[in-house]
Amino acid sequence: MKRIGVLTSGGDTPGMNACIRSVFKTGTDLGMQVMGVYHGYKGLIEGRVDYITHDMVENKMHKGGTVLRTARSSAFLTEEGMQKAVSVLNAYDIEGLVVIGGDGSFRGAAQLSEKYGVNVIGIPGTIDNDMGYTDFTIGFDTAINNVMNEIYKIRDTMRAHDRVGVIEVMGRLCGDIALWAGVGGAADLILVPERPMPWDEATNILVANKLRGKLTSIVLIAEGAGSAEDFCEYVRAHSDVEIKATVLGYIQRGGNPSAFDRVLAAKLGQRAVELLADGQSGFAVGIKHNDIINVPLLDAVKVNDTFDDKLYDLNTIMAKF
């Protein structure tokens, strides 16, 4: 394979730049030309394609965001959009495409591969960690560290007022960010969609904490389990607990990627390029039990997300005392 392309799609994630760098360098090492597609699938349809240069990737891997930019494109998922994408790839003689993104991006990649015979490899890039075929997605580790660091700041001010702090984090329908950041940040209660807890029960826990002298509790709520503001209103209406909401928002998605995310990005980028060089396509790469793996894209998008119930239960035990 002489020329490959790489794009980033969906929500950006820290580590995407490290992954683009890996695809560029490992591809170059194998004698390939590496082209970048700007603004994800949207840019692919519009023909926003150019060579990746050393300057583009040098001194960028420590930065969040993506030098290739990203977008969410509904037009791409139409027959017309797919056909345009294929014609752009053909016009640029791009023989293989690396897609760095989340499950929506993978579904697009799977279609490109299955219906149009495009050589595609998917690399999991999302802070949500909601792709069950891989233990970790690029960006998740950075996001949970971002959240954990904010928990301590919020705890400082909550403690000064004997308040309960509720912190809403991202993750779409997945509770992994709330769970891992919550365990790392010693949360007293973690509300996630995978372990639905009625809000009266959650309120009782906060009231009980107060009665046993624990005047400050930190609650992590995954966006898929409800909004921090709604939860606070409920607790205020049903108890005398003083409670304040913080929605962390995009602060958790930006910033310098952690070492783990950079290394993961480097390894996954390399495997993606090696597969293409070997004439293999239609795969999603990932990490399972510390091994770099590849599974068919169609299987990857079908695997349900896995939730670490043991870790959740461990936090419940630790929050008791």
Q: Which is nearer to ligand F6P, 127 or 189 (CB)?
A: 127
Residues 98-117 that bind ligand F6P (CB under 6 A): 102
Spatial separation of the C-alpha atoms in residues 143 and 151, rounded to whole Å: 12
Binding-site size for ligand F6P (CB under 6 A) equals: 10
Which residues are designated catalytic?
128
Closest-CA residue to 171 (of 307, 268, 280): 307
Q: Which is nearer to ligand F6P, 143 or 183 (CB)?
A: 143
Residue among 21, 253, 262, 271 that touches ligand F6P (CB under 6 A): 253
In whole angstroms, how close is the CB of 100 to ligand F6P at the nearest point?
Answer: 13
Please name the residue ranges forming H helices in 10-168.
16-29, 40-45, 54-57, 79-91, 103-116, 140-161
Tokens 């510390």 correspond to what residue? 290
Residue among 35, 127, 235, 248 that touches ligand F6P (CB under 6 A): 127
In whole angstroms, how close is the CB of 269 to ligand F6P at the nearest point?
Answer: 20
126 part of the interface to ligand F6P, by CB under 6 A: yes
106, 14 contact by CB (below 8 A): no
155, 216 contact by CB (below 8 A): yes
Residue among 15, 171, 185, 269 that touches ligand F6P (CB under 6 A): 171
36 part of the interface to ligand F6P, by CB under 6 A: no
Per-residue buried b or exposed e for 71-87, using 16+ beta carbons within 10 Å of the residue's own CB? bebeebeeeebbebbbe
Tokens 């919020």 correspond to what residue? 154
Q: Which is nearer to ligand F6P, 95 or 194 (CB)?
A: 194
Residues at the contact surface with ligand F6P, assessed by CB under 6 A: 11, 102, 126-128, 170-172, 223, 253
